[in-house]
Amino acid sequence: MTVREVPDALPGDLYGKHRHDPGTRVLDAIATARLRWSSLVNRRDLRPRVDDRRFPVVVTERRIVAHDQDVVSLRLARPDGRELPAWRAGAHLDLELPSGRLRQYSLCGDPADTRAYRIAVRRIPDGGGGSVEVHDELRVGSEFVVRGPRNAFPFAVPGHGSPAERLHFVAGGIGITPILPMARLAHRLGVPWTMVYTGRSRDTIPFLAELESFGEHVLVRTDDEHGLPDAAALLPGVGAGTAVYACGPTPMTSAIVAAVRTMPEVELHFERFSPPPIVDGAAFEIELAASGTVLEVPADRSALDVILAARPDQPYSCRQGFCRTCVVRVLAGDPDHRENTLSADEHAAGAMLACVSRSHGERLVLDL
């Protein structure tokens, strides 16, 4: 990944809580009303062609896991109590929410528990509605369908697939969810490890008691007590022979990427919960074939952002180029594919991920 500019510290609003935007509420209301129709009409042949292992689950436990009440943990099981598909640390589930939205959430429980999954979701009022729906609609006894598990953030334990000798974890806010099973496994195996866990304040940090049970392995630093962290504060003691696993907002992961580039013999694995920065972006146009509407995509915005402004019912989820929910068909033009999720055959058939891919030319004509 190439980063043009990397901030030395994290802005104070990047742990998952955003200012409310009234305009987004209006868009989300429109999206909710049209989403079921859209899921049938818009995805058509371009739905993911992977074995998603769809199956029903029921919420068996619901628990608030942050003192600010904004993070809820859900325990999920099969309605008939049978064993669930196995998973490894770093994996996520695709939730088919009752509204028709498809959202991804990291598994943060114990892979050894074969009859229950655990996820945790921070309420984000202007985040597209998925987190709000989880908080407001999914109660104990709620049944819905999930897909997976799938793993876009695989964990390699030193001595078992990694040449590293020790591990260092960095988690920002709700980014603790994929990191927690990794730390638990490292601790169970006796691998040397440390963690920096950061957030705005102790009230906003989920699973704090679980993390503090690891004692000196975990350093909790909050903005209100220690100030905004720079890369040095996030990577104490990291040197040759260390594998770093980080999950959090883009400025945090970008700062870590830039710092690790200067550290020889340090592995870096990271996942972010916000869209990646657009690098070397150039403006282009999108034409919606069915209506002939032409939309301008600025150099610093994604095609998906522009499409959603025009038709808020367009399916999307991760915004990072791995879940395939936002795939569209290109009828004319030369796409600049900036992902490795779709196959060469899918590219040849015109498939494009609107969240990350752009255009080599001045215009793309999309089957929308």
Q: Of 264, 250, 253, 256, give the one whose Cα is nearest residue 236.
A: 256
Q: Are 120 and 71 in contact (CB under 8 A)?
A: yes
Q: Which amino acid would we find at residue 351? A: A
Query: Distance between CA 172 and CA 167 in Å, rounded?
Result: 17
Question: Average pLDDT, stretch 200-212?
Answer: 93
Q: Determine whether 28 is exposed, middle or buried from the number of CB atoms within 10 Å of its CB (0-12, 13-18, 19+).
A: buried
**Confidence at residue 18, expressed as pLDDT on a 0 to 100 scale:** 41
CA-CA-CA-CA dihedral for 259, 261, 265, 269, to nearest 10? 80
Query: Distance between CA 197 and CA 134 in Å, rounded?
Result: 25
291 CB-near residues (< 8 Å, 6+ apart): none
List, for residues 73-89, the tens digit of each pLDDT value: 999 999 999 999 999 99
226 CB-near residues (< 8 Å, 6+ apart): 233
Check for a shared fold between 166-272 and 284-366.
no
Indicate the domain borders of the chain.
54-150, 166-272, 284-366
113 CB-near residues (< 8 Å, 6+ apart): none
Length of the chain: 368
DSSP per residue, 182-195: HHHHHHHHT--EEE
DSSP per residue, 98-153: TTS-EEEEEB-S-TT-TT-EEEEEE--TTS-SHHHHHHHH--TT-EEEEEEEE-SS
Q: Topology of 54-150 in CATH? A: Elongation Factor Tu (Ef-tu); domain 3 (2.40.30)
Whether the predicted pLDDT of 321 surpasses 60: yes
**Confidence at residue 233, expressed as pLDDT on a 0 to 100 scale:** 96
| pTM confidence score | 0.73
160 secondary structure, DSSP code:
B
The hierarchical CATH code for the domain 166-272 is 3.40.50.80
Question: Average pLDDT, stretch 298-305?
Answer: 92
Q: Are 221 and 215 in contact (CB under 8 A)?
A: no
Question: Average pLDDT, stretch 262-270?
Answer: 93
Question: Residue 258: helix, strand or coil by DSSP?
Answer: helix
Range with the poorest average pLDDT among 165-169, 185-189, 273-277: 273-277
List, for residues 100-137, the tens digit of each pLDDT value: 888 889 999 999 999 999 999 999 887 667 899 999 99
284-366: in CATH 3.10.20.30: yes
Range with the poorest average pLDDT among 73-77, 133-137, 250-254, 361-365: 250-254
312 secondary structure, DSSP code:
T
